[in-house]
Amino acid sequence: MIITNKTGLPDMLQRAVSKEYTYRDKRYSITSLLEPSRIIALKRRYNDKIEQDITDCIFMLLGTKTHFELENIELKENEFVEDHLEYTFENGYTLSGIIDHYDDEYLDDYKTCKAFTLIYKSDYDKWKKQLQMGAYLTYKKDGKWRKKGRIIALIKDWNRLESQTKSDYPKYPCQVVKFNLRTPEQVEKMILKLFDNVIKLEQMADDELPLCTADERYNKGTTWAIKKKNNKRASKVHNSEEEAKKHLENLEKDYPGQYEVEKREGENTRCEFYCSVNKFCPYYIENYMKGEKND
């Protein structure tokens, strides 16, 4: 991956980010293995052409600072921090990961996130799988299974006022989320299934790769707006066309010919703003680049 520095930040920051993007054949990190299938494949194929600016990686650097501080504390017996682990399966594929902290009982991962992630639990499934795979790597290292996992969530946009006025808002800027990590046999089965998927992806052409789901594209869904003709603002927005048509029929009784239904396609927010491989994705090329291929 090519890390750009369009805003002229210090060179050392650019070098710090660049070192995180080195791929090895048949070796996948925990986080990369949990990405959408299409992104997994395209990142590997076009790694030497993908560009990402350092400004998009700032919060990753903040997380790195937290990890650095962990490495410099005095550890208890059987306690480990920032442990770089790998395990190669019989199929020749290697799982790698950096485990933030673990002891004989708990395995911990430190995350920076936004408050809405905790309110809606939007990343909880991914967090659990990351902890499970981390626990599996420690199990392969020392034979101990840590069935308890914790995410230490550092909320980067925490607001004190909202914490005091909203019942579902995190009360503190740091929150611990606990998970039961099941058994090593169950986790191994999950990992091997993920690698089986990777092997299939490697045999597919770009346009054959599974399309990211609506959720993976951060698509909020298509809606149907009721609005006065020639107005931009909707008077009401419906989640189904049927509901919108019924609403329009009722309005026609009192306001004939004044209102209309406007279909509003759901935006693919990730595709447009957050996907590092979008310019190499056939779906993005077709829908956002008017079929013009990336050089």
pLDDT by 10s per residue, the chain, length 295 = 787 888 887 777 767 666 555 678 999 999 999 999 999 999 999 999 988 887 777 666 665 555 556 666 777 888 998 899 999 999 999 999 999 999 999 999 999 899 999 999 999 999 999 999 999 999 999 999 999 999 999 999 999 999 999 999 999 999 999 999 999 999 999 999 999 999 999 999 999 999 999 999 999 888 999 999 988 889 999 989 999 999 999 999 999 999 999 998 888 999 999 899 999 999 999 988 875 655 5
d(CA 245, CA 261): 7
Q: Residue 55: what pLDDT?
A: 77
Quick check: is 293 in a domain? Answer: no
Of 39, 59, 58, nearest to 50 (Cα)?
A: 39
Is 239 in the same domain as 192?
no
Structural domain boundaries enclosing 170: 2-208
Angle in degrees, CA 2, 28, 109, rounded to 5 = 95
Token pair recorded at residue 87? 């395990």
Quick check: is 201 in a domain? Answer: yes
Angle in degrees, CA 265, 238, 271, rounded to 5 = 25
Q: Residue 63: what pLDDT?
A: 58
Q: Which amino acid is at 212?
A: C
Q: Residue 122: what pLDDT?
A: 92
Boundary (domain end) residue, out of 176, 208, 240: 208
Is 139 in the same domain as 251?
no
Tell the residue number behind the tokens 């639990």, with chain if given: 121
Is 114 in the same domain as 73?
yes
Is 272 in the same domain as 168?
no
Q: Residue 293: what pLDDT?
A: 59
Quick check: is 160 in a domain? Answer: yes
What SS3 state is found at 58? helix
Q: Residue 247: what pLDDT?
A: 94
Q: Which amino acid is at 9?
A: L
Residues 6+ positions from 232 with CB-CB distance below 8 Å:
none
Is 120 in the same domain as 262?
no
Is 158 in the same domain as 184?
yes
Calculate the alpha carbon distances from 79 to 24, 70, 76, 146, 152 in Å.
29, 11, 5, 12, 17
Tell the residue number behind the tokens 């070192």, with chain if given: 19
Q: Which amino acid is at 229?
A: K
Boundary (domain end) residue, out of 155, 178, 208: 208
d(CA 190, CA 128): 12
Largest CA distance in the chain: 78
Is 44 in the same domain as 73?
yes
The structural domain count of the chain equals: 2
Is 114 in the same domain as 175?
yes
Is 83 in the same domain as 163?
yes
Boundary (domain end) residue, out of 208, 234, 262: 208
Is 193 in the same domain as 142?
yes
Is 104 in the same domain as 247?
no
Looking up residue 127, the CATH number of its domain turns out to be 3.90.320
Tell the residue number behind the tokens 């607001």, with chain if given: 159
